[in-house]
Amino acid sequence: MTSKVFFAKIDPQNKDDEIFNKLNELMDKSGFVNNLDENDIVAIKTHFGERGNTTYLNPSFARTIVDLVKTKNAKPFLTDTNTLYHHYRTNSVDHLETAYQHGYSFSILNAPVIIADGMHGNNEVEVEINQELFEKAKIARDIYESDGLIVLSHFKGHCMCGFGGAIKNLAMGCASRNGKKNQHKLVAPVISKIRCLACRVCEKMCPEEAITVDSHAVIDYDKCIGCNDCIEICPTHTIKLNRLNSDDFSKALAEYAYASIINKKFNKVVFINFLTNITPDCDCNAFEQEKMIEDIGILLSYDPVAIDKASYDLVNNHKSGLSSLFDAEYVTGEDKFKVLYRNIDSTVQLKEAEKLRLGTTDYELIEIM
Ligand code: SF4
Ligand code: SF4
């Protein structure tokens, strides 16, 4: 069966005003607010952006959604979960401060911000899924126990799965820290002993004491949680992401995405992908990134697979613009994420999610004017 994906193109020159109008139109077209009941608690899941990142979603977009949800006398809150890596979103105190610094405050949102997996990321529900990689998934309790869910995703590239959109936001974004560990362990980093200086910097900083250094550094994979903190710190760049397991990582994403909405009514979960400020990697990066292409628009669907497939197609079919990320040989229509991450097949997450009947890649794009 085909899934509907509503699409509002935006003019990159006039985008902020347009986005507010188009968001309202998309929500109206979807009829989502009418599916809510009075007093429903509605999680609006987004990514507040790591400190130093500049392309996270504008909090005023979330305010538009909050106002619409409140017309139904439902109770919206903005939410995200703590990160596995150690920076400014690792615990709820730092995470909330980062969110406020990025404008996700009550005065702008007119709704509270709640970090869904609690102070240290262990406020979780074990969800039985009995799938190939995981029998149980660990999902942030406050998202899992909400009545409705609106997933606002900044669609962009991702260094471990090619691109990140609705599926990634559900999977990693709704997992508790333990849930993130389970997924990230599959892509724990690798160390090449040839370039290792045995300087012990990684050994000293590893939060799990998973690295020992004798003549060169060695990772104990029984202890390593895959936080990838050691990658940035190595002076010789000899610790690398393990992209060989990216297919397993994508499969893990599909299983976790499935777990995060398994208890929800179909018509109380909706996905909105923003194809604006499209960068090569995710908003966890604590620095400004070059944009891949000019802004395209906003998509809305009840189907996370269809919306991600439609987003992926729109990005690939869009001209590459002047971005230095694509050379003169680049042909419009080629998989841009494959150009960025040549060892990663970003369609695996779509195929795996489709196998779990989370949605379909067969979509009808309905453009609203
Ligand atoms: S930080 Fe890099 S160079 Fe230093 S011990 Fe670890 S792997 Fe080797
Ligand atoms: S070895 Fe690296 S990825 Fe593994 S836990 Fe230590 S810092 Fe994190």
Average pLDDT, the chain: 94
- Tens digits of residue pLDDT in 51-61: 999 999 999 99
CA of 156 to the centre of ligand 2 (A): 25
Cα 313 to middle of ligand 1, angstroms: 40
Between CA 217 and CA 203 the distance in angstroms is: 8
CA of 182 to the centre of ligand 2 (A): 13
d(CA 95, CA 83): 9
Annotate 42-82 with three-state secondary structure.
Answer: EEEECCCCCCCCCCCCCHHHHHHHHHHHHCCCCEEEEEECC
**Nearest Cα to Cα of residue 229 among 208, 258, 255:** 208
| The two three-digit tokens of residue 117, written as one number | 């997996």
Ligand 2 atom index nearest CA of 184: 3
Using one digit for the tens of pLDDT, what is the confidence trace for 330-351?
A: 888 889 999 999 889 999 999 9
pLDDT at site 213: 96
**pLDDT tens, 104-136?**
999 999 999 999 999 999 999 999 999 999 999
Q: What is the DSSP letter of 8?
A: E
CA of 226 from ligand 2 middle (Å) equals 5
Report, as an integer, the average pLDDT of 243-267.
Answer: 94
CB-defined site of ligand 2, < 6 Å: 188-189, 206, 208, 210-211, 219, 224-230
Q: What's the pLDDT score for residue 326?
A: 84
CB of 202 sitting under 6 A from ligand 1: yes
pLDDT at 167: 98
**Average pLDDT in the 156-177 region?**
96
Q: In the chain, where do the E strands start and end?
A: 3-9, 41-45, 75-80, 113-115, 124-128, 136-140, 148-154, 156-158, 162-164, 190-191, 211-213, 217-219, 239-240, 269-275, 297-301, 363-368
Predicted pLDDT at 11: 84
Query: At 308, is the pLDDT very low, low, confident or very high (cuts 50, 70, 90)?
Result: very high
Give me the pLDDT at residue 365, please. 98
Residue 279 has pLDDT above 70, yes or no: yes
Residues 283, 284, 288, 290, CA torsion sign: negative
Spell out the domain ranges in the chain. Answer: 3-184+244-368, 189-241
Structure confidence at residue 369 as a pLDDT band (50, 70, 90): confident
The CATH architecture of the domain made up of 189-241 is 2-Layer Sandwich (3.30)
**Residue 322 confidence (pLDDT):** 60
- What's the rounded mean pLDDT across residues 279-283? 93
Contacting residues for 130 by C-beta, under 8 A, at least 6 apart: none
Q: What is the CATH architecture assignment of 3-184+244-368?
A: 3-Layer(aba) Sandwich (3.40)
Whether pLDDT at 321 is above 70:
no
Which atom of ligand 2 has the smallest separation from the CA of 223?
5
CB atoms within 10 A of CB 245: 18
Q: Encoding tokens for residue 118?
A: 């609690």
Neighbour tally for 33: CB within 10 Å: 19
Atom 8 in ligand 2: which residue has the minimum CA distance?
227
